Amino acid sequence: MKLLLDFGNSRCKWALLDEEQFSDRGAISYVDDSGQLQLAATTQQLPLVGINSIHIVSVLGKKLDAQIATALAPYDYHFYTSQLSAHGVKLAYVDATQYGNDRYAALLAAHQLYAGSKIIIDCGTAITFDAIDDTGQHLGGLIIPGYKAMLNGLSNNTQQLQQDIKHKELHLLAKNTKEALSSGTMLCLQMGIKGIIDKMNGEMRASSPMIVVTGGAQEEVLASIDLELIKEPDLILKGLSMLAGLSTNLG
């Protein structure tokens, strides 16, 4: 049994790979109420019984990756990083170390799973956009803050602003501050995402690239966008399995 781990900015997504299929999957948040990462507690919650190898992509940086490695020291573990040219994908970045390992895994999976030009959107703590053509040439992309990050940025620079805001539904003409902040932030994201997609469509050679979306916030953030979306919640983990050479049967 193989364990695949995607350490993002605020949570770890995991999947068990058994005979070329995901047999189970889940996610563990590791940011506490004070904003501190609790990596040791996270690794203790992972399904490690019967695991013979662990495969990891992480965006946490070398110092925190070292903590993960220490916690998983009894196991056969492997970290995977972005490459300028590998697995049929060529990065537009000059320095592969500046390109997120999770974005790379998603890019690889999208290219392997779907033919033609694509825009890949990952909705998490940050929202990333990447364009890739039908040959596997990465054309570049964008990063914008996600919903919570946008709200936190506003609250950190505004006196007496409520911070316990959760999005429930859109109110274009909100009648209180919480609704105004929640709806305004979500509408800004949704309209911004639609605008970015339109702009990218204009820059790409393909007349109508497919749009592949992933990430924990995809349903909420992309709910009102009137476009045909290919939803791949396990896109990064599928790409990780490909990076590790573990499976070709995850379509």
Which CATH number is 164's domain given? 3.30.420.40
Mean local confidence (pLDDT), 175-199: 88
* Contact of 240 with 57, CB cutoff 8 Å: yes
Give the range of the structural domain holding residue 193, as residue numbers without chain letter.
Answer: 116-233
Phi, psi values for residue 154, rounded to 5° = -70, -45
Quick check: is 93 in a domain? no
Residues 137 and 212 reside in one and the same domain: yes
Q: What is each CA distance from 228 to 14, 24, 197, 212, in whole angstroms?
A: 27, 28, 12, 9
Residues 33 and 129 reside in one and the same domain: no
Contacts of 37 (CB under 8 A, 6+ apart): 30, 31, 60, 64
Quick check: is 95 in a domain? no
Number of domains in the chain: 2
Say what the pLDDT of residue 202 is.
87
Say what the pLDDT of residue 167 is.
59
Top pLDDT among 103 and 174 is at 103
Residues 120 and 75 reside in one and the same domain: no
Report for 41-45, 117-121, 123-127, 213-217: range of highest mean pLDDT: 117-121
Quick check: is 165 in a domain? yes
Residues 62 and 140 reside in one and the same domain: no
Quick check: is 51 in a domain? yes
Weakest-pLDDT range from 28-32, 94-98, 114-118, 227-231: 28-32
Rounded Cα distance between 229 and 119, Å, is: 10
Residues 59 and 147 reside in one and the same domain: no
Residues 41 and 122 reside in one and the same domain: no
Rounded Cα distance between 129 and 214, Å, is: 11
Contacts of 137 (CB under 8 A, 6+ apart): 90, 92
Top pLDDT among 26 and 251 is at 26
Quick check: is 86 in a domain? no
Residues 62 and 135 reside in one and the same domain: no
Say what the pLDDT of residue 172 is.
80
pTM of the predicted protein model? 0.90
The pair of three-digit structure tokens given for residue 184, joined into one six-digit string? 């305004």
Quick check: is 247 in a domain? no
Q: What is the pLDDT of residues 158-171, one digit of tens each?
A: 555 555 566 567 77
Mean local confidence (pLDDT), 191-206: 88
> Is the pLDDT score of 58 beyond 80?
yes
* Mean pLDDT for the chain overall: 87
Quick check: is 44 in a domain? yes
Report for 8-22, 147-161, 194-208, 209-223: range of highest mean pLDDT: 8-22
